[in-house]
Structures are given as structure tokens and as C-alpha cells.
């Protein structure tokens, strides 16, 4: 399954978040990411040589997020970008989170 080839679908709630056993196979597609202990979110920290590189990367994430209509939580600091993903409308993870994570990973290639 190539998550980066998929597109996020609108989520307005009314569905259950993925259970941990449903998330674990998807985690294999994004091995650098971490699944939260409560299995309600995923996260990854990217490192750069300076603030400008981190900021440019965060802006590139913003472009993808807008295209996909699914938005991460970002923390930008000197040489680092922290990315957190969960589907707020359902209070946990959906396939959209894994799709966006895979697309963000492609920015580093």
C-alpha cells in the first residue's frame, strides 16, 4: 500500500478512530513516526541545519496540508520541526493522518 499515492478524504466525524491494531500495519509504511501510547496520534521530529531550513520545511508541509484538506500540528524551532497528526473531528487517528505523514516524508527525499 503506497499511502503517499492516496488522498485525504473529508472527515466530519460520526466514525470511530482507528484502534491500535488497525494503526500498527499503517505505521510500517511510515517507520520514522511514533504512535502515541494512547494510539490517538502520531508524531515525528525533523531536524535541519538552521532555522531557515526548518521554516521552509514547515511552509512546504503547509502547502501539502492545504492540498489535502488535512492539517497537522506543527512546532517550529531552531533546526527542528515537530509534526503531530490526529483527526480532531473523531478524536483519534484516521487513514488521513497516515496519508499526510507519508506525503510529509516525501518532502525529505
Which letter does DSSP use for residue 16 in this model? P
Domain with 63, as residue range(s), is 19-106
Instruction: Look at the pTM and tell me if it is higher than 0.85.
Output: yes
pLDDT digits 0-9 by tens, 73-82 = 999 999 999 9
Has residue 75 been placed in a domain? yes
Has residue 71 been placed in a domain? yes
Please determine, for residue 66, whether its predicted confidence score (pLDDT) is greater than 90: yes
Q: How many domains does the chain have?
A: 1
Write the CATH number for 34. 3.30.1360.20
Percent of the chain with pLDDT over 90: 92
pLDDT band at residue 1 using 50, 70 and 90 as cut-offs: low
Has residue 13 been placed in a domain? no
Has residue 1 been placed in a domain? no
Please determine, for residue 13, whether its predicted confidence score (pLDDT) is greater than 80: no
Higher pLDDT, residue 12 or 6: 6
Has residue 28 been placed in a domain? yes
Amino acid at each position: 500500500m503506497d499511502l503517499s499515492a492516496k488522498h485525504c478524504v473529508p472527515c466530519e466525524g460520526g466514525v470511530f478512530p482507528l484502534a491500535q491494531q488497525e494503526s500498527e500495519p499503517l505505521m510500517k509504511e511510515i517507520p520514522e513516526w511514533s504512535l502515541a501510547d494512547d494510539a490517538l496520534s502520531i508524531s515525528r521530529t525533523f531536524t535541519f541545519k538552521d532555522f531557515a531550513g526548518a521554516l521552509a520545511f514547515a511552509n512546504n508541509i503547509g502547502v501539502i496540508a492545504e492540498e489535502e484538506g488535512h492539517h497537522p500540528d506543527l512546532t517550529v524551532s531552531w533546526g527542528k520541526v515537530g509534526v503531530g497528526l490526529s483527526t480532531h473531528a473523531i478524536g483519534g487517528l484516521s487513514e488521513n493522518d497516515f496519508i499526510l505523514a507519508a506525503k510529509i516524508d516525501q518532502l525529505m527525499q
